Amino acid sequence: MKTDFSMTIHGQAVAGTRGTFKVLNPATEETVALCPSGSPEQVDQAVAAAAEAFKTWQYSTDATRVAALNAIADKFEQHAAELAEIITLEQGKPLALARFEVGGAVAWTRYTASLGVPVEVIEDSDVRLAELHRKPLGVVGSITPWNWPLMIAVWHVMPALRTGNTVVVKPSSMTPLNTLRMVELMNECLPAGVINVITGEGGIGSSIVKHEGIRKIVFTGSTPTGQTIMRNAADNMKRLTLELGGNDAGIVLPDADIDKLAPAIFQTAFLNMGQTCAALKRLYVHESQYDALVEKLAEMARAQKVGPGMEEGVTFGPVQNRDQFDLVSELVEDARQNGARIVTGGERIGDKGYFYAPTIVADIADGTRLVDEEQFGPVLPVIRYSDVEDALRRANDNPNGLGGSVWGSDIDKARAIASRLECGTAWINNHAEVLPHCPFGGSKMSGFGVEFGQDGLLEYTQSQLLNINRG
């Protein structure tokens, strides 16, 4: 893996005027590489470069944009092994999962290239022709998290480019390296300034959000940060797409085939070591199957091979950073102190790296921090219920509303309950599945706006009605 990383502004490699900072491997706590530390002045330069590029990119043809995105997808495929290795070393996930992330980024890029920007005819009569056109917004600011660093950057950037916008992207300081490399590769396929990247440890995100030259912010991350972005974006009325925190509930109905469904429940709760916004984070199980399902999930947790992501056969990597590791530990300890039963896990593994054993917590109830708060880590609280209506009420009694799920054999019954969940996506016999053609977004404190599909693409545009008088 390369060890010299630069920011990219107007197609040129740029060092940070504030020097560099260390990017740590969460499996070893050792330095992976040094990352350039940019400044607010360099944010200004990146926005200026994007604004200059927008003058021509906004008028590029559909064919030009489609060809550019497909060329980018080709470039990602050619460098798939390199990108996956960077992801594993800085994020921690097993290499197989990092390869999956790169493959997903390629597929999402190609799908976005296939989408079109429609012109809607509102009226076509003897007196007038009224057409609704969609125009790009301008410079888009993208701020990405550390859990799926390449995939989420692609989710933000590709629809912006497809609709004729230009971009300044700022990755998490925990996982900036793959985004720096991603933008280098993209600049081999795009005019200078169309995509720029700035990295830094503090204040850079705020500079982007407040910048008068940026017309839209797309952000994936915590609800408190999303609230701050909303406040700071008000001065020039920036458009916003905010995908924020989730505390997704799943309800297992009494008729569920738990032998069949348990593996999917485990996988969707512990995807990426539980560090996924729409992972299943609270599981409500009917008392008739509670003990049996708890034990099945515990068996799967015990079967995981925990270790550094680059090691052969590892299925479970570390928590990505010290702060998140400490929060997970704190929430489990609080549950233990409040009488919950730690069925398996509940402890650190080893003395180096942020490894936390896959953990199943039983005999726990709402009102406990582990249930009420988003753990965003390798822990699943399993809550007993006796009445489905009560389980539904408890599932909805949370400020977040990203996703939810219902698990059962009677699909009609499961569908009726799922439709009453207060969340942006309700799955039946699945969870955490996001697809490039299906709009995805949150409700309540989990944000607003959608990503993916035609609806997600149009979030990067503004409408203009063309009204032609034929009278």
Catalytic residue list: 243, 277
Quote the strand ranges of 81-190, DSSP E: 120-124, 128-136, 139-143, 166-170
Q: In Å, what is the CA distance from 170 to each residue of 200, 324, 350?
A: 8, 20, 33
Token pair for residue 137?
């917004």
Helix, strand, or coil (residue 317): coil
Tell me 268's DSSP state.
Answer: H
Nearest-angstrom CA–CA distance, 375 and 274: 8
288 phi/psi in degrees, rounded to 5: -70, -25
The Cα angle at residue 370 between residues 29 and 385, in degrees rounded to 5: 145
Quote the strand ranges of 277-397, DSSP E: 280-286, 341-344, 359-362, 379-385
Q: What string of DSSP letters covers 35-85?
A: EE---HHHHHHHHHHHHHHHHHHTT--HHHHHHHHHHHHHHHHHTHHHHHH
> Do 379 and 332 contact (CB within 8 A), yes or no?
yes
